[in-house]
């Protein structure tokens, strides 16, 4: 797999300080440095289910799973829309076809009709019921949409959207018109049996082609792709909305990750068919279930992180490599043991604060300070040198640089009004916030160019919340550092602890207009409802430890520590450079910018015993720890070699096999459309060949180059849902130096 070299997630000490990460709880004999993500597969993340089992990709595609699917219990009739239920008779089906079947019309309960009438008006409620009944009777006929009276209250519209979706089981689709009226239309079942090109799908009406359960659960392996991006691509191929694909949490983009997902009313064969067509995405381990996967439905994540080119900072760096390996192992193992027993400060990691020139927390600060124009300019901030270079010298071909250069150029063209239309055209779609802003500010030409509030509201709720939550996280990090600096592990009067109540459940949510959103909560951990300060007697009793202490992210629905740290919140947030904000006044005129706040544990600990292994190597492209896909490919390669040996009596040719395997790494079967598959996976395939050839390089050739030995560390640990691996690595390695630019 092609991988960009030396993306180092460890930032400089000054950057860590700027986002509030200044304290450490773990003693180290000496700090050390290394290169993270020389290959993206050097950073591996495997989801841990609620049952504590680590998710691994075991089988790619169907790969013998058809029998399991056939043996699974069929979904109950009530769980599946009528149009998706089919006869399971494989033999004589003429009798079923010849006898007309009466359509069963689902009636809406009277109490639901009453509730809808009270909320949306009796006339609109009755029109919806009639639309639903007519749609069931004649699903093939297009029904005229029904429209409500204009509703100015956005929150009320959101309630109506959600109630319609619940009452009619998502069979009536709704949207909001320009005047605030709700437009409802019946969602007819999609006809999947006919297609215009050569009848490729002429057999899809066969019973064996229908999904046998409501939700198809599957394992998603992705390489150097964001979870939402992977979901969007899968949805595009399956021709479904991304919202019907559920997952427990997002995973890092610059990594090889494994997680469980679910998709509604989809055949395993359809999902298996995408393998080999989408670069960096592989699916497998299909299983039908009656319930979907929900957000937060995981215990945490297991990380296997390879740190290459490890170097000791200090005089020990001059010692022989073998001695350095022993010293580093003793140093790191001691640190891991201490972290296992005592934990470390539960900082928000630098990913929380973005990767652009102006951090996401800076944008959030401007929004909370009602400086909407400044917030928009911060979102569209660009590097003049890069933008100028992109305009005069062109865009580089390297994928990662291409998008970044296009972004800087687009922001420059728009903000300087050199070419607004081109700016909108070239802005890469993965920069969703920038795309939303540009389109909104240009929707009516210059007349809408200063509608900064509208542009911010136009950004999807999840992205908009990201800026506000980053600002909260910035404050929390600084408060945590101050708390540790003053009191360390000591419990003091006024520290906050959680009042034991039932946590808010995590489910997929909707925004105020009824649209599905991916992350309805700020983090992946449960949301505690209340906290209280400890009395002096409680703090001294020994009943509570530092692991019970929580700190709030600023909001209108939290309380602050009743001690010096509570005063710190007020002082820190009130500074001009931090927006002159008041932690006790976090409600805004616009509901979208009001923050309730939440509580977060001060300390974090591992879920299981961690481990570390140090190795020496010469080639940075060497894979130190196999991914799940590597293991599957190796197993397939061995099986192929054994089969050829049995059939031909000749030895298999390893380099030839490696190239063949690399051409379609994700698929366990030949693609139906080799041309299309090659086009979509050509980039990954070409780089696969390069990696495979590197791995099969003759050992004598390596020795001839006489490359110097380097040290690599492979660290494995498990973290809870809201923890950051990069924060854990900083605790393990020490503060990075200012000169760290790799």
User: Cα–Cα distance between 101 and 32 in angstroms, integer?
Assistant: 73
Distance CA 378, CA 387 (A): 16
The Cα-based distances of 333 to 23, 55, 93 in angstroms read 20, 26, 67
CA-based nearest residue to 212, from 46, 339, 85: 85
Residue of 252, 495, 628, 735 with catalytic role: 252
3-state percent breakdown (helix, strand, coil) of the chain, nearest 5: 40, 15, 45
If we measure between CA atoms, which residue out of 685, 645, 642, 654 comes closest to residue 667?
A: 685
Q: What angle do CA 286, 291, 294 make, to 5 degrees?
A: 95
Q: Of the candidates 741, 9, 15, which has an alpha carbon nearest to the alpha carbon of residue 361?
A: 15
In three-state form (DSSP H/G/I as H, E/B as E, the rest C), the secondary structure along 48-93 is ECCCCCECCCCCECCCCCHHHHHHCCCCCHHHCCHHHCCCCCCCCC
Report d(CA 59, CA 687) in Å as an integer: 23
Residue 282: closest CA among 59, 64, 69: 59
Q: In which residue are the tokens 């999840």 written?
A: 462
H/E stretch holding 128 reads helix 122-137
Torsion angle of C-alpha atoms 627, 629, 633, 635, degrees rounded to 10: 70
DSSP string, 654-721: HHHHHHHHHHTTT-SS--S-HHHHHHHHHHHHHHHHHHHHHHT--HHHHHHHTPPPEEEEEEEEEEET
Closest CA to 38 of 62, 9, 18, 60: 9
> CA 300, CA 559: separation in Å to the nearest integer?
28
Tally Cβ neighbours within 10 Å of residue 7. 18
Reported for 127-134, long-range contacts at CB under 8 A and 24+ positions apart, including other chains, are: 127/184, 128/164, 128/168, 128/172, 128/184, 131/172, 131/184, 131/185, 131/186, 132/106, 132/108, 132/168, 132/171, 132/172, 132/186, 133/105, 133/107, 134/186
Contact yes or no for 208/248 (Cβ under 8 A): no
735 is catalytic: no
Q: Which residues contact 394 (CB under 8 A, 6 or more apart)?
A: none
For the annotated catalytic residues, the residue numbers are: 252
């Amino acid at each position: 797999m092609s991988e960009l070299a030396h993306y180092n997630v460890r930032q400089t000490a000054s950057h860590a300080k700027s986002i509030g990460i200044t304290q450490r709880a773990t003693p180290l004999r000496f700090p050390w440095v290394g290169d993270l993500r020389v290959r993206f597969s050097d950073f591996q993340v495997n989801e841990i289910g609620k049952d504590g089992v680590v998710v691994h990709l075991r089988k790619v595609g169907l790969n013998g799973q058809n029998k399991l699917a056939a043996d699974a219990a069929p979904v109950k009739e009530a769980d599946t829309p009528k149009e998706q239920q089919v006869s399971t008779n494989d033999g004589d089906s003429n009798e079923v076809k010849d006898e007309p079947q009466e359509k069963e019309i689902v009636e809406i309960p009277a109490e639901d009709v009453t509730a809808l009438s009270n909320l949306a008006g009796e006339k609109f409620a009755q029109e919806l019921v009639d639309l639903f009944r007519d749609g069931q009777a004649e699903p093939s006929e297009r029904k005229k949409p029904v429209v409500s009276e204009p509703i100015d209250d956005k929150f009320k519209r959101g309630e109506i959207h959600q109630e319609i979706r619940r009452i009619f089981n998502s069979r009536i689709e709704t949207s909001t018109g320009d005047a605030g009226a709700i437009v409802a239309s019946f969602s007819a079942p999609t006809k999947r049996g006919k297609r215009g090109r050569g009848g490729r799908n002429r057999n899809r009406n066969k019973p064996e082609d229908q999904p046998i359960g409501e939700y198809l659960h599957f394992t998603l392996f992705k390489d150097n792709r964001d979870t939402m991006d992977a979901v969007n691509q899968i949805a595009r191929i399956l021709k479904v909305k991304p919202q019907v694909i559920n997952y427990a949490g997002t995973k890092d983009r610059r990594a090889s990750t494994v997680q469980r997902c679910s998709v509604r009313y989809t055949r395993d064969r359809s999902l298996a068919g995408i393998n080999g067509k989408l670069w960096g995405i592989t699916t497998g381990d299909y299983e039908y279930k009656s319930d979907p996967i929900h957000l937060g439905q995981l215990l945490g994540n297991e990380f296997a992180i390879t740190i290459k080119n490890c170097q000791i900072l200090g005089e020990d760096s001059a010692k022989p490599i073998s001695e350095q390996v022993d010293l580093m192992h003793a140093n790191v193992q001691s640190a891991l043991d201490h972290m296992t027993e005592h934990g470390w400060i539960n900082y928000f990691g630098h990913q929380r604060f973005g990767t652009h020139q102006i951090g996401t927390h800076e944008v959030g600060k401007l929004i909370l300070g009602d400086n909407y124009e400044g917030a928009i300019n911060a979102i569209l901030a660009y590097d003049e040198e890069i933008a100028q270079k992109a305009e005069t010298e062109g865009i580089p071909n390297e994928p990662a640089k291409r998008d970044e250069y296009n972004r800087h150029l687009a922001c420059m063209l728009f903000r300087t009004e050199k070419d607004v239309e081109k700016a909108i055209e070239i802005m890469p779609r993965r920069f969703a916030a920038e795309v939303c802003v540009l389109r909104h500010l240009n929707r009516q030409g210059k007349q809408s160019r200063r509608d900064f509030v509208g542009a911010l509201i136009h950004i999807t709720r999840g992205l908009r919340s990201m800026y506000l939550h980053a600002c909260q996280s910035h404050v929390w990090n600084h408060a945590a550092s101050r708390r540790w600096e003053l009191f360390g592990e000591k419990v003091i009067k006024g520290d906050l602890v959680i009042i034991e109540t039932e946590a808010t459940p995590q489910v997929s949510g909707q925004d105020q207009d009824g649209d599905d959103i991916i992350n309805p909560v700020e983090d992946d951990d449960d949301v505690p409802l209340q906290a209280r300060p400890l009395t002096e007697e409680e703090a001294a009793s020994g009943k509570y430890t530092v692991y019970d202490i929580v700190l709030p992210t600023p909001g209108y629905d939290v309380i602050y520590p009743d001690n010096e740290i509570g005063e710190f919140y007020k002082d820190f947030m009130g500074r001009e450079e931090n927006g002159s904000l008041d932690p006790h006044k976090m409600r805004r005129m616009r509901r979208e910018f009001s923050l309730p706040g939440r509580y977060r544990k001060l300390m974090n600990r591992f879920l299981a015993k961690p481990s570390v292994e140090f190795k020496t190597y010469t080639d940075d492209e060497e894979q130190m720890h196999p991914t799940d896909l590597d293991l599957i490919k190796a197993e397939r390669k061995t099986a192929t070699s054994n089969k050829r040996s049995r059939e031909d009596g000749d030895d298999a040719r390893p380099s030839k096999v490696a190239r063949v395997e690399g051409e379609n790494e994700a698929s366990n079967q030949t693609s139906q459309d080799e041309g299309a598959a090659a086009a979509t996976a050509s980039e990954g395939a070409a780089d696969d060949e390069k990696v495979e050839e590197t791995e099969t390089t003759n050992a004598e050739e390596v020795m001839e180059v006489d490359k110097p030995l380097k040290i690599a560390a492979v660290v494995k640990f498990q973290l809870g849902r809201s923890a950051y691996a990069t924060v854990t690595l900083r605790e393990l390695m020490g503060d990075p130096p200012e000169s760290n630019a790799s």
